[in-house]
């Protein structure tokens, strides 16, 4: 998927079920076969559901030395069209945040996790990642791709979780206005908050399967994200002398 100079580990991956209040939350996980404990990452999918693209990201991050869980927020349902994705996201509503909390708790209490936690989200998942950063004090880092802040701007200044956000400059005027407001709030935020915009990139630039894919923005944001995670999770991701194709 991407080129990287970082060593890859052989991983174990597959489907699991997270026990949460009232039901079992399906999820997909990956982590290195040997070693640990590892820093933990909750990866939050977009409004298409837990599709192959998201599972590839889970395995890729696992290969780099993280224990990764991607909760299936749509309970097995996926969207083939934008309209279906919007309907699934609308149906999820306010139930998303408690499911994210359940996944974070599963990682925090797992013996193969070293209790240093981050959350990464894509579009809908990016919004949930920002919400998690604002409401959880046990997170070391949060990364949001195309995440929306909604009416939570006032909370950003008091956010205790370092936040890294990525956006395409060709996004909607409303999103660009929100980014400007977030940049202003970040000036006095308690924790570090960095927002990166890419010229000639649209929302969804990170997905190589999407028509909005932008190779430069995707590769640069990937490198910045890994540096950010290494810094705030104290993760030691080794590098090799030559890039390895993913």
Residues of the chain with pLDDT under 70: 1-7, 171-172, 237-246
DSSP the chain: --EEEE----EEEEEEEEEETTEEEEEEEEEESSS--EEEEEEE--TT-S-HHHHHHHHHHHHTT-EEEEE-TTTT---SSHHHHHHHHHHHGGGHHHHHHHHHHHHHT-TTEEEEEEEEEETHHHHHHHHHHHH-SS-SEEEEES---TT-HHHHTT--S-EEEEEETTS-HHHHHHHHHHHHHHTT-SS-EEEEEETT--TTTT-TTSTT--HHHHHHHHHHHHHHHHHHHT----EEEEEEE-
Instruction: Tell me, yes or no, whether 64 lies in a domain.
Output: yes
Instruction: Tell me, yes or no, whether 111 lies in a domain.
Output: yes
pLDDT tens sequence across 158-197: 888 999 999 987 766 777 788 888 887 777 777 788 889 8
Instruction: Tell me, yes or no, whether 207 lies in a domain.
Output: yes
Q: pLDDT at position 3, please? A: 47
Instruction: Tell me, yes or no, whether 241 lies in a domain.
Output: no
Instruction: Tell me, yes or no, whether 211 lies in a domain.
Output: yes
pLDDT tens sequence across 35-53: 879 999 999 999 999 999 9
Q: pLDDT at position 241, please? A: 41
Instruction: Tell me, yes or no, whether 240 lies in a domain.
Output: no
Structural domain count of the chain:
1
pTM of the model: 0.90
Instruction: Tell me, yes or no, whether 246 lies in a domain.
Output: no
Instruction: Tell me, yes or no, whether 245 lies in a domain.
Output: no
Q: pLDDT at position 156, please? A: 82
For 183, the domain range is: 3-235
CATH code at position 59? 3.40.50.1820
């Amino acid at each position: 998927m991407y080129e990287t100079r970082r060593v890859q580990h052989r991983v174990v991956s597959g489907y699991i079920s997270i026990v949460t209040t009232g039901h079992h939350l399906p999820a997909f996980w990956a982590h290195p076969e040997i070693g640990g404990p590892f820093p933990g990452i909750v990866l939050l999918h977009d409004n298409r559901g837990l599709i192959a693209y998201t599972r590839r990201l889970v395995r890729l991050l696992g290969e780099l030395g993280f224990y990764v869980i991607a909760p299936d927020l749509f309970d097995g349902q996926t969207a083939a069209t934008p309209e279906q994705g919007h309907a699934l996201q609308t149906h999820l509503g306010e139930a998303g945040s408690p499911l994210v909390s359940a996944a974070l708790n599963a990682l925090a209490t797992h013996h193969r996790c070293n209790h240093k936690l981050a959350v990464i989200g894509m579009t809908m998942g990016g919004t949930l990642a920002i919400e998690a950063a604002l409401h959880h004090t046990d997170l070391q880092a949060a990364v949001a791709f195309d995440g929306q802040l909604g009416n939570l701007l006032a909370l950003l200044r008091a956010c205790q979780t370092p936040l890294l956000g990525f956006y395409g400059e060709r996004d909607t005027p409303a999103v660009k206005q929100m980014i400007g407001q977030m940049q202003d709030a970040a000036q006095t935020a308690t924790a570090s908050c960095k927002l990166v915009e890419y010229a000639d990139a649209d929302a969804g630039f990170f997905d190589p399967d999407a028509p909005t894919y932008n190779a430069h923005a995707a590769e640069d944001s990937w490198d910045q994200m890994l540096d950010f995670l290494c810094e705030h999770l104290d993760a030691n991701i080794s590098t090799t002398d030559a890039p390895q194709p993913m």
